[in-house]
Structure 1
């Protein structure tokens, strides 16, 4: 059997996920930039007046509103123009967003920029899991699917690192450059063979597969035949929204929606969007800019572990560790805020606790809750349902993100920050038991074997 070149899959998936790094940069933009926009002296703000609390809440929450729209656009793009060109269209939306933010003269420009960033993010969350799952062999599909969170964290760390120490304009210009780097590099990457097969173009599918695998016609022929048979069986009828709620499709749908719920109601976006505010409000001994860089660095390093181990340890064990660890971290963070609210004398001696809790939260979140819902989204649905179901799951995730980012601060102010964090902790604990009893293990299984498992039938030996 002809040996392939495994590194090609990693390179192609890595280039595709530069888009996610760019989105991570735009998502983390709020943390250092809010300080500049809310400065009473307007020292480094393009706005005519400081950002109000309500305006800041809308700036934070309009990105997920855009993501809801983007997920629907991404689903259409996936089936009409393909995964590759859909991702390039998302880059154009991101570019428009950065132009609006760069040239902002009032808060309306920021609202528009955040919406366009959100549209790009929704498209990427829809298209990237498909792209990575469809170019990957079974033994590395989990690793490539986990790239999404790792590259997003690269973007977060970059904006955390340069945001506090450079001007508003420099941060925006770096964002523009990020989009350009992705668009230029990804233009030269292949489309997925499965997309070409779904359009009955076997010749283009073979060319793409040879390029992805680094093999000759003879080397890819068997895999191409298996893909074609899978596509043929899947495309016998056009999938509709109603098909998502039938049989194994519904099982895949409620699992992925539940994982998206636990991911968002772990409080990750509230924590990241308002990180500087959290450290300032907590009275941490560390400067908020240093704290966010520490957390961003830990987040990146932790997320790099998942691609290395997910195809050996499996999805379930990482999700169990992740939900348990985040629950403990949120419990500690909530306890700190409770003691702070009660003006306990012990607070002065545990100023390290918010940073320690954030590090534990970020590490364990990055091992499972961050990357694996998206990796499994690319695995659990059959090809004909994927283009319909993925936008719905991504859109649902966008709604949850909006709810968390828009209402976290008002609710925390009303009931206490400690109550808000404890509620997130309870959700993480619920995620632990959901994973324990209902999430299937997909490690090492082909896409067809996963479908067989969901419907409760045994795969034939050698079936791929």
Structure 2
């Protein structure tokens, strides 16, 4: 439902940009589009994760990056031939189509089951898998997982403010659960390493980077080629993630991104500091960003976003994915805004070498702390974090630890809300 409400925000923002009479309206349009982008990333990823089978989960989640890059490529391509006002008007078409088409697909089965709408959840799962598919085993596993995490079997009447306060207190009190805080810590670190490898700087400063790095090809054409290569790399990455274990893939991807950033820094160093020129040297910047684009989409890009949607337990997944998405977008903002300062501090070529060092740190983190969830169900992922961490309460002999239970029950939360 939330995804259906975001399309109109995109349309409003793009129309404000397209018909802006002054700078204030232009800023307003950009803010609205930014809000829509932030609101859409987590719900879309969570929905894809929850409706996918374990075998295809990461590949389908990586498909989100592919469509994102398709839009980026179209923006690069059309931006060379039409003005920014016309481009903003054209950008209203995708959210309009998505708003209409989303009306024909069901809600996530996991979401419906957590709300107690079991019949609708089973029908949605059957629709997603097909009429001839036997969903009984999958449905029972999902229902068991949801029942263990559902706080209440009966809903209580409460006003909106009290409900928000109750949900917030429940979230804060459950942060000490091992299947909550440990995935959150992993996501915070891995998203930091992902964004500060500097790919966002190439995407947002692509034209100026190609110009300053001395590319032998026209800067706009080089930018379009970069967008095309990254788009094709998304499909290659989706296939590779399905076939290869995630942990080695993430490590190799991080190392190659580090290599690409190092070569980009070398190209700038040779031309600006050493004064080396030539057609071959002019191709080195484009070759470097190609390495970064392909390597990033093969692991460092899609794997953290997949973790963001699948590591958290089902009862808090929407909350925690939203928080993780917010943190990730904050990292993107900081990466882009600090790029000129990083260049000023470390020199233009030193900035790319700095990002290359972050890539090395990402590889080290992947080798030491990153779990491999390939082929595991969402319940098995929660079990991994629960069983591998200290247990919050002493369990009875023979008691299952597959799913971490809330550390405080709903009645205790209600009492705290009433006191507030």
Q: CA RMSD in A?
A: 2.1
Higher mean alpha-carbon deviation, 344-353 vs 227-236, is at 344-353
Aligned equivalent of 1:178: 94
Query: Could you say which residue in structure 2 is the equivalent of 1:24?
Result: none
Q: Shift in Å at residue 407 of structure 1?
A: 2.1
Q: What residue number does 1:280 align with?
A: 211
1:122-133 equivalent positions in 2, closer than 5 A: 122-133=38-49
Q: Take 1:457 and 1:412, find their aligned partners in 2: how far apart are those partners?
A: 42
**1-side partners of 2:44 and 2:287: how far apart?**
32
1:330–1:425 contact (8 Å) kept in structure 2: yes
After the TM superposition, which residues 164-243 of structure 1 pair with which residues of structure 2 at under 5 Å, given as runs?
Answer: 164-215=80-131, 219-236=134-151, 239-243=170-174
Q: TM-score, normalised by structure 2?
A: 0.85
Q: Are positions 1:143 and 2:59 aligned together?
A: yes
1:336 — aligned with what?
A: 267
Of 376, 381, 388, the residue aligned with 2:307 is: 376
TM-superposed deviation, 1:219: 2.2
CA distance in 1, matches of 2:84, 2:324: 34
Q: Compute the TM-score of the two structures, normalised by the length of structure 1.
A: 0.77
Tell me, what secondary structure is at the counterpart of 2:376?
A: coil
Is the 1:241–1:388 contact (alpha carbons within 8 Å) kept by the matching residues of 2? no
**Cα contact 1:336–1:347 (8 A) shared by 2:** no
Following TM superposition, by how much is the alpha carbon of 1:113 offset from its aligned partner in structure 2, in angstroms?
A: 1.8
Take 2:81 and 2:305, find their aligned partners in 1: how far apart are those partners? Answer: 33
Which aligned runs of 4 or more in structure 1 are off by greater than 6 angstroms? none
Does the CA-based 8 Å contact 1:198-1:235 persist in structure 2? yes
1:282, distance to aligned residue in structure 2 (A): 1.9
Asked if 1 retains the 8 angstrom alpha-carbon contact of 2:197 and 2:355, the reply is yes
CA positional deviation for 1:193: 0.7
Structure 1 position 156 matched with structure 2 position 72: yes
* Partner residue, 2:185: 254
Kindly state the Cα deviation for residue 131 of structure 1 after the two structures are TM-superposed.
0.2
Secondary structure of 2:339's aligned partner: helix
Once the two structures are superposed, the pairs formed by residues 77-92 of structure 1 within 5 Å of their partners are 85-92=1-8
1:262–1:369 contact (8 Å) kept in structure 2: no
1:418-464: CA deviation from partner (whole Å, max 9, x where unpaired): 12111111111100000001001101111111111222369x9xx99
String of CA shifts for 1:256-301, please: whole Å, max 9, x gaps.
Answer: 1112111110111111001001111222110011101111111011
Distance 2:111 2:337 in 1: 37
| Aligned: 1:424 with 2:355 | yes
Residue 238 of structure 2 contacts residue 298 of structure 2 at CA under 8 Å; is this kept in 1? no
- Extract unaligned runs of 5+ from structure 1: 1-84
- Give 1:168 shift: 2.4
Say whether the 8 Å CA contact 2:196–2:355 is kept in structure 1.
yes
- Structure 2 counterpart SS, 1:433: helix
Tell me if structure 1 keeps the 8 A contact 2:240–2:298.
Answer: no
Q: What are the ranges of 5 or more consecutive residues in structure 2 without an aligned counterpart?
A: 153-166, 390-398, 404-420
Alpha-carbon displacement from aligned partner over 1:159-206 (angstroms, at most 9, x marks no partner)? 111111122232122101121122122221111011111110111112
Following superposition of structure 1 onto structure 2, how do residues 254-403 of structure 1 map, counting pairs within 5 Å?
254-346=185-277, 349-403=280-334
Judged with a 3 Å threshold, the aligned counterparts in structure 2 of structure 1 residues 302 and 268 are, in CA distance, closer, same or farther, namely same
